[in-house]
Structure 1
Amino acid sequence: MNDTISYAHSNDENWSQACQCADLYITAEIARTYGLKALAEDFFDSFREHISDELFAQALELRRRTFDGEKFHRHCRQVCSDRERQVAQHAAQTARLPSSHPRAWKRDVAKQVLGHHRYQLPVGQGGFNVGTLRDLGQNEAMWRASLASDAIPSADFMYVYDCGSDPIAGVIQSVRSIVARRLSRRLDMLFVSHFDRDHICGIPHLLHEKTGLRVDTIVMPYLDDTDRIIAFGRSGATSGERSAERFHEDVIIDPIGTMARFGPRQIVVVMPEGEDEGGSGFFELPPAEPPRSGPDGMAWKGRDSAGGRSAPPLARRTPEGATIVQRIEFAVAAGTEGGWLLKPHVKRASQQDREAFCAAVEVLLQWPKGSFREKVKIEKERRSLVTKHRMAVSRAYSWAFGDKNETSLSLYSGPAEPQTAGAVLRNSRTFASARVGWMGTGDASFKDPLAVQRFEHHYRDEMDWVTTFMLPHHGSAHNFDPSLFVVDAELWVAAAQPIHLHWKHPAPEIVKAIKASGARFRKVDSSPKSLLEEKMVVFWPG
């Protein structure tokens, strides 16, 4: 207390206690106006009984004139806001009910209702995930029907995350099924996690000019010339069908030019986390318009994943005509509240490992020391590395990286504003929360605690809402340490066909750790019965 004025019949200590008691009275009074009970109320009576009525009245009169009430008002407003947010979150967590539940459809009129279906297709060793969105309006019959129907034909928005398998026959069969059911032949977005053959070899079939889909936007990670040769090195020691090999080589040599052959309206390249202008020359490129949807299909826009809901991403134009961005998330069917979020994240290989790889290639091919980076700027040299010298590139990768997989684009797919959303799932049993988010991780490496920490920081607003988590590199123990991850997914999935004994797809110790945590594990392989379908209706109550 700064008030040391002594009133009649009191000493300084009594007066100080009287002022403290007056402050407690005032804060309790303010708290009650917000419907709150101040902690001060629990102490007021014990203070008050030692102070005379006259002294208390004098202190209260003074403190009403000098007390900084605005600061406490702000505190009360913040407490109320926090409580409202907690109530909304609790409502969302208890709102996800099985479709058979009698209360499932008795909601307030919703501001927005989206049907979301996703399919992890049984392609064997590889990756092929299809997601769809449909605006279901206010028609309850349509909501119910959507949970029992195939979403591919009627989807307003469809995206694919990776499209490949080893051998290629697995993905070709699944591609034919998707294309046959998609009468509009429209694919809104294709996300490429990385450039391994078993994740991309199906793309020429998926986007075939005559027998495939017409893609609007392709999103892939940024890899410079060096990074792409590194990416080739991991699979360079193996071989596949010639058509898959040729496409794989073309993507490594010229990814943007190769993808442009399929006629997308735009190609978006996402820079790795922490990349700066010194590494890629980002700020030396001319500015570009941020990515956004075209005139057809469900509307979406790109926005800065670290700049709030309205901030556009910083975008540049590459010499090949692609749009390169540092940070981005894609808001689909976004309104004042609601919509869907697709949020990528790219982690780059360490500089030390990259330098070791370059040095190893120089030694193996007897190139002058320090010449690798200049040589791979030449397309002819890149083609020679992935055709004539693929075994040397593979040996250099093994020496520099060992069993690690690097540079992969992860993707979060889930409702925008999930804390206020409810959802109804097909064939659901009981639920403790409203989480319906999905996380794909490609072949990202999550063995390094710092890498995991950065990943979780990037997805800090989404991690609590992930219910389905795709294990990286088909569940290999070389890429994932379950003790490092804090995501509390309900379902962990490995898209794997156990043909590579070295990689252990999926690793038994990872499966055991998942089940020990009380979560479910699911392996999707080449068997049609292993197909994973997740169907839901997501709504934002009015």
Structure 2
Amino acid sequence: MQRLFASRTQWAVGNGFFHSGIIDTDESQSVYVYDCGSINRPANRAALTREIGEFGKQLDLRDAGVDIMFISHFDEDHVSGIPELTQRVRVTKFVLPMIPGPDRLLLYSRSLLDRTPGRPIGSFYGSFITDPDAALRALGATGVFFIPPTQPQGGDEGDAGEPLHEERKPIRDIDSDQGNTTAHVDLEISTKLATISRDGDVVWEWRYAQSQQSTSVMKDFAGELVKAGAIAREVDLHDSREIARLVQTRPADLADAYRLAIRKVGRSFTRNLSSLMLYSGPPVAGWCSTLTRRSTACPPFEDVFVSGDRPGFLGLGDANLRSKARRAHVNAVFKERKKRVGTFAPAHHGSHLDWNVSLLDGLGGGSGYRPTLVFSASGAYDHPHLKVLLEANEAGATTKVVGVEEPSRLTESFAIFYQP
């Protein structure tokens, strides 16, 4: 039986996202982050800086860095804090969705319309849109891994995916019966999940998935850029050099092209179909018992625990879930893992457009279990929507809004007893 200590925190940044976790496997620990950014408002940016600082202090005490960072999608409010984070702590590996350059440029163009007058987009964001691999490696990353879309039907539970990275770290294991022995902790990354193993037993996993991408507005967006003389042909948007040129020299044309294209498509336009969704928790195979404590502070593991909560986390980024088929895809891909999930971050900060109560199906194993729904939101853009909060509470769930003030921070500490 493996005993794990784990702590995860939804940091107080308001509309944006910054989620972190620390998993202790005896004398070894692994640290992960899921998104790091905020909307471009002074209070939100200040909150993000404060929370990055607090996260850095925690890692200083552990003499640790971030082993793996997951990026859900390319909206600025989910990635704007990455440069500041990497200045404060070491981040070695990134996992992010494989999204074509034209689609990234579309999101960048949308962000140009959301700017506060006189506040330009940071240089990192433009570089990140142009070439994510180069931008992240410039910040010190030693590995950048791109995850392709999964098929809409899901149903690939037994497939670990194509291997992308594997590393082994020896640790000194003190056993009172056998004396000192050497154990190994392995981190493996594939196209469908990442895992932590201790002496061959998988003790923690991150399962990720994104839906097939279909951006209906792209042809109109490219056509408007051709009309404006910003590009010669639609195919130019697949050239990273052209994307860089447009970002650096034609922001007004990008903003106009986006606005005109959206007007043509109308209400049927959708964004973020390829947001990377993430499960974090013990593997589904095996026996698991959990003691947990929730707090707005950052409690040590020695604090009093309360039994009964499920240790898994499921975050949907800004996934567009406005169709029944896409919601069914989420439920199919994470069906088995939802049994372990006690903390759920619904899509798009609690937007009612990407919400349906069916997303609660199977959380915590069902049978009347009451999950906690957490929303990183401060009221901007009507997030979280009252309809979402009401329906979640009517279904018996607990809702927690993590805004910009420090007391709204949510920290969970776990003692997990796991038998692979």
- Superposition map of 1:326-475 within 5 A: 327-335=191-199, 337-350=201-214, 352-363=216-227, 371-385=233-247, 387-396=251-260, 398-399=262-263, 400=265, 402=269, 404-417=271-284, 419-426=286-293, 431=308, 435-475=310-350
> Equivalent pairs: percent with the same residue?
23
Against the structure 1 CA distance between its residues 391 and 186, is the aligned structure 2 distance closer, same or farther, given a 3 Å change threshold? Answer: same
TM-score, length of structure 1 as denominator length: 0.63
Aligned partner of 2:79 among 200, 204, 209: 200
Asked whether 1:271 is paired with 2:152, we answer no
Q: Write the distance in 2 (CA, Å) between the matches of 1:492 and 1:388.
A: 39
| Deviations, residues 190-225 of structure 1 (Å, cap 9, x unaligned) | 1111111111111101102xxx21222111111111
Instruction: Give 1:471 deviation, angstroms.
Output: 1.6
Partner residue, 1:164: 37
Q: Write the distance in 1 (CA, Å) between the matches of 2:52 and 2:398.
A: 28
RMSD: 2.8
Against the structure 1 CA distance between its residues 519 and 456, is the aligned structure 2 distance closer, same or farther, given a 3 Å change threshold? Answer: same
| Deviations, residues 62-98 of structure 1 (Å, cap 9, x unaligned) | xxxxxxxxxxxxxxxxxxxxxxxxxxxxxxxxxxxxx
- Superposition map of 1:33-432 within 5 A: 111-136=1-26, 156-166=29-39, 167=41, 168-183=45-60, 184-208=63-87, 212-239=88-115, 245-274=122-151, 290-293=164-167, 295=169, 299-302=185-188, 313=190, 327-335=191-199, 337-350=201-214, 352-363=216-227, 371-385=233-247, 387-396=251-260, 398-399=262-263, 400=265, 402=269, 404-417=271-284, 419-426=286-293, 431=308
TM-score, length of structure 2 as denominator length: 0.80
Instruction: Give 1:420 deviation, angstroms.
Output: 0.8
Counterpart contact for 1:444–1:473, Cα < 8 Å: yes
- Structure 2 unaligned residues grouped into runs of 5+: 153-161, 172-183, 294-303, 365-370
Local SS of the residue matching 1:347: coil
Identify which range, 379-388 or 507-516, moves more after superposition.
Answer: 379-388
| Deviations, residues 247-300 of structure 1 (Å, cap 9, x unaligned) | 11111111111011022221111112239xxxxxxxxxxxx9731236589833
Letter in 2 for 1:222: M
Partner residue, 1:5: none
Bigger Cα Rg: 1
| Deviations, residues 139-166 of structure 1 (Å, cap 9, x unaligned) | xxxxxxxxxxxxxxxx711111111112
- Structure 1 unaligned residues grouped into runs of 5+: 1-110, 138-154, 276-287, 304-312, 314-326
Counterpart contact for 2:101–2:237, Cα < 8 Å: no
Q: Which has the higher contact order (CA 8 A, sep 6+)?
A: 2
Counterpart contact for 1:179–1:185, Cα < 8 Å: no
Counterpart contact for 1:122–1:525, Cα < 8 Å: yes
Q: Write the distance in 1 (CA, Å) between the matches of 2:170 and 2:219.
A: 45
Instruction: Give 1:450 deviation, angstroms.
Output: 1.0
Aligned partner of 1:486 among 361, 373, 376: 361
Q: Write the distance in 1 (CA, Å) between the matches of 2:328 and 2:260.
A: 29
Against the structure 1 CA distance between its residues 403 and 374, is the aligned structure 2 distance closer, same or farther, given a 3 Å change threshold? Answer: closer
Q: Write the distance in 2 (CA, Å) between the matches of 1:134 and 1:461.
A: 24
User: Size of the alignment, in residue pairs?
Assistant: 371
Letter in 1 for 2:241: E
Local SS of the residue matching 1:423: strand
Q: Write the distance in 2 (CA, Å) between the matches of 1:224 and 1:411.
A: 20
Q: Write the distance in 1 (CA, Å) between the matches of 2:221 and 2:402.
A: 34
Q: Write the distance in 1 (CA, Å) between the matches of 2:273 and 2:110.
A: 10
Against the structure 1 CA distance between its residues 294 and 186, is the aligned structure 2 distance closer, same or farther, given a 3 Å change threshold? Answer: farther
Letter in 1 for 2:372: L
Bigger strand fraction? 2
